[in-house]
Amino acid sequence: MQDLIVTLDGPAGSGKSTVARVLAQRLGLEFLDTGAMYRGITAMAIARGVDVHTETHLVNELVRHCEIGFDWATDPPRLHVRGQDLTGRLRDDDVTGGVSAVARLPAVREVMVREQQRIGREHPRLVTEGRDQGSVVFPGAAAKFFLEASPAVRAQRRADQMRAAGRRVDVERIREQITARDAADASRSVAPLICPEDAERIDTSEMQLDEVLDLLTARVRALP
Ligand code: C5P
């Protein structure tokens, strides 16, 4: 079967995780959540007592020796760092609060990009989502999308997800976190959050999940 890499980039809470996962199911492709990898490194560093905001040398050291990967037999794939399943920790507040500080480190990005490209070679029929998938990791992808939505809509969606998972929610705080993460991700010097020139930019603020999925499915099915 022909290789088919589809990239979905965009800011926090733009809906790309859900869209990417369901799009992959619809198209019979695998799904790669690259944010989970940055979150996994952050969770591992915190577990070792590292302050990810100040002790960057320790994060750099850790990432050099970390084995990170997914268990592709589970759906969605579970994340293992150094043999430890950290999936349950990835969305915790301390990890969300520290992940942008970890993701801006060039040494971390170098390892993550290499690992993601390796995953792409091993799973060449893939929907992958993140911040730099179309711009840096898979510049030759067959289809590239950039999803965005207003900060208020994104905060509300994240809050709904958390409520559905039985967590307590403060929408205003989520909105502040999202805005802070946007600013950090868009202003870093290595692989900042940008819309690749050859990506289709889609504002999902006024769209239902199904509408976004139908649009993307049609675009990918129409590829030569
Ligand atoms: O997508 P998610 O919210 O899980 O991503 C968490 C964080 O990981 C982002 O805020 C960003 O700092 C970082 N990230 C990144 N590059 C990616 C995916 C995520 O820098 N490809």
Residue 224 lies in a domain: no
pLDDT at 153: 93
CA distances to 22, 179, 199 from 213, in Å: 8, 25, 16
Percent of the chain's residues with pLDDT above 90: 86
pLDDT at residue 162 in the model: 86
- CATH number where 13 lies: 3.40.50.300
Contact 117, 108 (CB under 8 A): no
The residues, any chain, with a CB within 8 Å of residue 198's CB and separated by 6 or more, are 134, 144
3-state helix, strand, coil in the chain (%, to 5): 50, 15, 35
With respect to residue 123, please indicate whether it lies within any of the assigned structural domains: yes
Whole-number pLDDT of residue 12:
85
- Say if CB 115 and CB 68 are below 8 A apart: yes
* Any domain includes 162: yes
Expressed in angstroms and rounded, the spacing between residue 193 Cα and the centre of ligand 1 is 9
Residue ranges of the chain whose pLDDT lies below 50: none
Q: Ligand 1 atom 12: the closest Cα is on which residue?
A: 100
Residue 71 lies in a domain: yes
Beta bridge partners of 70: 79
Domain of 73?
4-219
ipTM over cut 0.95: yes
DSSP for residue 69: E
Compute the residue count for the chain: 224
Q: How many angstroms separate the alpha carbon of residue 1 from the centre of ligand 1? A: 30
Residue 140 DSSP class: T
Instruction: Identify the helix (H) or strand (E) that includes residue 135.
Output: none
* Measured CA distances, 20 to 186, 195, 197 (Å): 21, 17, 20
pLDDT of residue 156: 93
Q: Is 16 labelled a binding residue?
A: yes
Ligand 1 atom index nearest CA of 102? 12
Please state whether 28 falls in left (phi above 0), alpha (psi between -120 and 50) or beta.
left
CA 66 to CA 111: how far, in whole Å?
Answer: 9
66 domain residue, yes or no: yes
18 a known binding residue? yes
| pTM as predicted | 0.94
Pocket of ligand 1 (CB under 6 A): 12, 34-35, 38-39, 99-100, 103, 130-133, 181, 185
Counted domains in the chain: 1
